[in-house]
Amino acid sequence: MTARTAPVRTAPDEVRTVTCVGAGVIGGGWAAYFLARGYRVRAWDPAPDFGTRLRHLVDAAWPALTELGLADGADRANLTVCATLAEAVEGTDFVQESAPEDLELKRRLLADIDAATADHVVISSSTSGYPMTDMQTDCAVPGRTVVGHPFNPPYLVPLVEVVGGERTDDDAVTWASDFLRAAGKSVITMDREVPGFIANRLQEALWREALHMVDAGEATVEQIDRSITDGPGLRWPFQGPMLTFHLAGGQGGMAHMLDHFGPSLLSPWTRLDAPELTPGLRDAVVHGCEDEADGRTVDDLVAERDRQVVALLRATGRA
Region 124-163 residues binding a copy of itself, contact defined as CB under 8 A:
129, 151-153, 156-159, 161
Closest CA to 298 of 242, 254, 236: 254
Task: Check residue 295 for interaction with a copy of itself (CB under 8 A).
Answer: no
Q: How many residues bind a copy of itself (CB under 8 A)?
A: 112
CB of 36 to a copy of itself, least distance (A): 12
**Is the N-terminal amide bond of 268 cis, ω within 30° of 0?**
no
Which residues make Cβ contacts (< 8 Å) with residue 88, sequence separation at least 6?
19, 20, 21, 42, 43, 44, 80, 82
Q: Give how far Cα 134 sits from Cα of 104, 142, 168, Å.
A: 9, 11, 12
Among the listed ranges 2-10, 48-56, 72-80, 226-234, the one in contact with a copy of itself (CB under 8 A) is 226-234
For the packed helices 241-248 and 279-293, what is the interaxial angle rounded to 10 degrees?
Answer: 100
Q: Which of 209, 255, 256, 259 binds a copy of itself (CB under 8 A)?
A: 209
Strand 79-81 to 145-150 pairing: unpaired
Please state the φ and ψ torsions of residue 190, each to the nearest 5 degrees.
-95, 145
Task: Check residue 195 for interaction with a copy of itself (CB under 8 A).
Answer: yes
Report 85-124 residues binding a copy of itself (CB under 8 A): 101
Task: Check residue 233 for interaction with a copy of itself (CB under 8 A).
Answer: yes
Report 27-56 residues binding a copy of itself (CB under 8 A): none
Q: Which of 47, 64, 86, 105 binds a copy of itself (CB under 8 A)?
A: 64
Task: Check residue 83 for interaction with a copy of itself (CB under 8 A).
Answer: no
Q: Which of 48, 275, 279, 295 binds a copy of itself (CB under 8 A)?
A: 275
Q: Which of 2, 104, 267, 295 binds a copy of itself (CB under 8 A)?
A: 267
CB of 307 to a copy of itself, least distance (A): 7
Among the listed ranges 14-22, 45-53, 80-88, 279-287, the one in contact with a copy of itself (CB under 8 A) is 279-287
